[in-house]
Structure 1
Amino acid sequence: MPEFPNIILYAIPFFVISMLLELYVSIKENKKSYETKDAFTSIAMGFGNVFLGFFSKAAVLLVFMVIYENFRIFTIPFAWWSFVLLLFADDFSYYWFHRISHENRLFWASHVVHHSSEHYNLSTALRQTWSGGFYTFIFWLWLPLVGFHPGMILLQMSVSLLYQFWIHTEAIDKMPKWFESVMNTPSHHRVHHGSNPLYLDRNHAGIFIIWDKLFGTFQPELKDEKVIYGLVSNINTHNPLKVAFHEWIAMGKDVFSGKKSVFDRAKYIVKPPGWKHDGTGKLSDDLRKEWEESVGSTQPAHTTRLNEVELEKARSSGSAVDSR
């Protein structure tokens, strides 16, 4: 097996230079893209993720190797075409990991970290989980099983992470139409970070936006629906420890406190975030429906924000949000 470098570590200088350039552009254009405490919190989360990644990636590599050495169905060679196959296979896995991370509270507990900033800039891309690396890899277990070498898989996962860095910006409005139709872009990903009811739990793509279009979770960014970044209920803290673990604590309280059945306690782990056993919780579908009704009843016909196609997309199946 050829040796694959840890490209994330090599990319750190690129991250720093890119953020400085973005900051310069935002200041020059009088845009308030950065807030000092928020940016430093995101960077701290990124450093924590890299440090813990030494341990989580070692564990993941061990699991992948066990599957590859003992249970693989085929043996896929180290060839250019195998990396092309892996590009799409990895991105398919990422889509479902990302989507389930919005539909299942156990996975949301780690993923919510990335959505906790109320700002959208390149530093937000660094706001990564400290806990997810130890269990979210299950969405990639099928790759060593079909014959991709674990080293190849980890390399492609890093490539995907690097690609997603540049799309965390407001400095780029739209890419060429052909690119927007196939690839994940800043415009598509701004939607994903929106707490607007229309934008909740949309555009889960990693590299290719085709998966969202195929599975009904795509929503274009609308000019007259400005993205509001953050959570439905923001956590209002810059403490990295609170950012990393606030949802784990909240989920634990829901599971272990109060009078409820064992099944209801378990549902707080497997149900979407926002679900409550007494029926008072609101999921993203509920919030989106309320928003549609309010827009329909209060907006004149010529200023309605959604055309029929976009309304149909907004009504397509969605997941839940943090509604604490």
Structure 2
Amino acid sequence: MLTTGKIALCVTLFVVLVSLIEACVLTRKQRGSATPFDWYEVWISLADLVGRKLLALLPLSLATPVFALAWDHRIFTVTLDSALMVFLLFIGQEFCYYWYHRASHRMRFFWATHAVHHSPNQLTLSSAYRLGLTGKLTGSAIFFTPLVLLGVRPEVVLATLTFNLLYQFWLHNTWTPKLGWLEYVFNTPSAHRVHHASNVDYLDANYGGVLVIFDRLFGTYVEERDDEPCRYGLVTPTRSHNPLVVEFEHWVSLARDIASAGSVWTAIGYVVLPPGWRADGSGETTEQLRQQNLAGRRAMPVSTEGR
């Protein structure tokens, strides 16, 4: 009889196997090209996956007591006994995921973990399971507390989130073209390529898990453009092949900024404000990078060739 643990193991092995098959195909395809396939990116993702599986054995989640408190004070008790209730759970979970994901990009405390997922300088299926070791420690699952408060059992909420992340596995590739009308509703490889791009025009976009309806509703949807090829990785690329550096470099830089903040409010700013924020205004937040990019475009001389 298949237990939950056995099913999870089978899914993990399947995901890893498919990502390794893709890696082998891309290695052969890109051999001799200007950008050969980087197997170090795969090894780092595998190290992250193994590390998270080991940490899962320890009771370190900050979300667990919060979920327990929310369940004890739930407003209703939800029973998933109809297609409508399952659909409402799906939409509710997608809404919570959108705000969790948006906060992971817009608050440096959560970005310190999420940056690990964006650190690969090539987008492949193995990028999907590089999620960062410190997710449970930061309590990022707290964003799904409203579902528990409404009466959905915590284990059901977490299972739904797992299915959401499993759907996103196939989105991490560069070889799937745009999918027509599906692009208007669903998160697709094209939409997710934009999300992983470090181009200024693509930063902080397409936060949805399965859907992009909340991105369209809240103005964070950006379409992939033929004239703007995606450049993957972080704005300041991670070049290290050391998994520990990849996992903790953003926590180290955050701790360094807090230590040198000079005031409590500045220290808090480094924690809760967007990555790149600096108290003296000299930082490189998404907004500042876009202003600089726009200023650069305006300063470029206008070509009259062909007129």
- 5+ long unaligned stretches in structure 2: none
The one-letter code sitting in structure 1 at the alignment partner of 2:113 is: S
Matched, 1:50 2:53: yes
Residue deviations 1:71-97 (CA, integer Å, cap 9, x gap): 010111132432221111111111101
Q: Which runs of 5+ in 1 are unaligned?
A: 304-324
* Correspondences of 1:90-239 after superposition (within 5 Å): 90-134=93-137, 135-175=139-179, 177-239=180-242
1:12 and 2:12 equivalent? yes
Q: Answer whether contact 2:61 2:136 (CA < 8 A) is retained.
A: no
1:165-205 CA-to-partner distances (Å, cap 9, x unmatched) read 11001121222x22111110111111111111001111111
Shift in alpha-carbon separation, 1:156–1:301, aligned structure 2, 3 A:
farther
1:83–1:55 Cα change, 3 Å: farther
**1:288 and 2:290 aligned:** yes
Using the alignment, how far apart are the partners of 1:298 and 1:223 within structure 2? 22
| TM-score, reference length from structure 2 | 0.89
Tell me: CA distance 1:168–1:155, structure 2 relative to 1, closer, same or farther (3 Å): same
Q: CA RMSD in A?
A: 2.4
Number of residue pairs the alignment of both structures matches? 298
What amino acid is aligned across from residue 36 of structure 1 in structure 2? W
Q: Which residue of 1 aligns with 2:257?
A: 254
Q: Would the aligned equivalents of 1:34 and 1:121 in 2 still touch at CA under 8 Å?
A: no
> What CA deviation, in whole Å up to 9, does each residue of 1:82-136 have, x standing for no partner?
2221111111111101101111111111111111111100011111111112311
Report the counterpart of residue 74 of structure 1 in structure 2: 76
Moved over 3 A (4+): 27-34, 54-63, 295-303
Q: Give the conservation status (yes or no) of the 8 Å contact 1:118–1:230.
A: yes
- Counterparts of 1:19 and 1:67 in 2: how far apart (Å)? 37
Supply the distance in 2 between the matched residues of 1:56 and 1:87 (Cα, whole angstroms). Answer: 27
Residues 27, 300 of structure 1: alpha-carbon distance in 2 compared, 3 angstrom cutoff: farther
Q: Is the aligned partner of 1:85 residue 2:88?
A: yes
CA distance in 2, matches of 1:178, 1:206: 17
Query: Which whole-Å CA distance do the structure 2 matches of 1:302 and 1:10 have between them?
Result: 61
Give the Cα–Cα distance (whole angstroms) in 1 for the partners of residues 158 and 128 of structure 2. 19
The structural deviation recorded for 1:53 is 2.8
Contact 2:63 2:142 in 1 (8 A): no
AA of the residue aligned to 1:110? T
Q: Which position in structure 2 is the counterpart of 1:271?
A: 273
* Aligned partners of 2:185 and 2:212 also within 8 Å: yes
Could you list the per-position Cα deviations for residues 206-250 of structure 1 after superposition, in whole angstroms to 9, with x for gaps in the alignment? 110111111011100111111111111123212111111111111
